[in-house]
Structures are given as C-alpha cells and as structure tokens.
Structure 1
Amino acid sequence: MQFLLLICADVSLVPDDAFARGCEGWTEEMLERGVLKDGGTGLHAHASARTVRVRPTEEGDEVSITDGPFAETKELIGGTCILECATLDEAVAHAARHPSARYGAIEVRPIWDPTTPPPWS
C-alpha cells in the first residue's frame, strides 16, 4: 500500500542549517529499504502559495483566490514523499525517523486506489 507523507514544519523551530543538512541520510535509507517510491517534492515558501475556492451562486460559480496557504497555522507543508509499506504502522515508523519530524509534523495518509471503493463510503 502507498502512503503520502505531508512534511510540515513550524518555521519558528526550523534550524538555520536544516536545508544544508537535508534529510540526513533518511532518503538514502528509505531507497535502500525499497520503500521510497517518490523521492520527495520540496515546495517553495508558503508566501508564494495561492488558495483557490469555487462556490456556486445563483449567478454562477464564484472564484475566490487568496494569498498564502490554506490554513492559519504555524506548521506549513514544505514537501511530500510517497512510501510503499505493508501497513500504516510501518509508514508511521519511517515517518518518525524523518528529520523534519523534529521541528514540525509529518502527516501520514494512505493513498486511495481508485480501482477500489472509496474509503469514505
């Protein structure tokens, strides 16, 4: 099963040398174990983000575009990874070893296989 890791950081806690240190060998270890399926995608700073919402009205769809990330929060999404693991617990264990977990949070979510019934039905 595949799992998406949403790598979030509290910008007030990120060490000055975090970008220079990278993932401190985590990526290489996950590749060696064969669980890292997408080597990770880093994102530009949250200030460059735009959030788009569309709401139906009687006159037609109303499009709203706001600057910045979706939520008012200290922890901002800085990147993603995709892992292939047997269980959610295994994916969580790998996420707990990611350096970013020390100064933020990593949300681990199973990726829905669209050939199966929706998990919310």
Structure 2
Amino acid sequence: MQYLLMLYFDDTAWPQMTPEQQKEGEAAYMAYTQALADSGALVGANRLQPSRSATTVRLVDGKPQVLDGPFADSKEQVGGYYLIEAADLDAALAWAARCPTTGHGVVEVRPVWPTM
C-alpha cells in the first residue's frame, strides 16, 4: 500500500541556519532518501518551494478566486513529501519516525486511496 509522508516545518528557519547546519540537514535527508530507495519503499519525493511562493485557488460564488500565499496561516507549512510503498501503517509509521523532519517539525502519514 502507498502512504504519503507530508513534512511540516517552519520554512523560515532554513535561511537562518549556518552553512554548516544546512549541510548537515541536507546530508540527513540524502541519507534518509537513500535508505528508502535502497529498501525499495521510495515511490517519489520532492522538496517544495517556501510557502510564500504558494498560490491558493478556491471557488467563491462559482468563480475562481486566486490568492497569494498558503491557505493555512500557521508557523509550520508543508515543505516536502515522500510517497512510499509499505506493507501496512505500522511500517509506514516506522519510516516516518526515521525522517529527519521529526527533529524540527511533524511528519503526517496518510494512506493513498488507490484510484485504479
């Protein structure tokens, strides 16, 4: 079964880190991504641009309304994701617990509803 690991964190913290801290963070994510790939669990992954680059679209009176910025106004935003294949929720949760985001944010685990 596929699970989406959504990574929530304060995306304003990265620019405030030292180059050494950024390098350590990148290495931790690279190692985690490689472990997922080596195990065969990795289906896909991407890092997202900062939330300030988001655009929100919704219908208001049947017409699209486009707003700059994310929908949620909170300190933590979705900053990336991993789409993984896991035997069950417990296996997906074990992968989520190993994600570097757990040290500075939250990993939300959601089963993917197969459409085909």
Q: Could you say which TM-score interval applies, normalised by the shorter chain?
A: 0.7 to 0.9
Moved over 4 A (4+): 12-15
User: SS where residue 53 of structure 1 aligns?
Assistant: strand
Instruction: Structure 2: give runs of 5+ residues left out of the alignment.
Output: none
User: SS where residue 71 of structure 1 aligns?
Assistant: coil
- Aligned-pair distance for 1:13? 5.6
In structure 1, the residue matched to 2:34 is: 28
Q: Which has the higher strand share?
A: 1
- Aligned-pair distance for 1:24? 4.9
TM-score (norm 1): 0.81
In structure 2, the residue matched to 1:51 is: 56
TM-score (norm 2): 0.84
In structure 2, the residue matched to 1:83 is: 84
Question: Partners of 1:87 and 1:106 in 2: how far apart?
Answer: 17
Q: Which has the higher helix share?
A: 2
Contact 2:11-2:50 at 8 Å conserved across structures: no
Question: Partners of 1:43 and 1:54 in 2: how far apart?
Answer: 24
RMSD: 1.9
Question: Partners of 2:56 and 2:9 in 1: how far apart?
Answer: 19
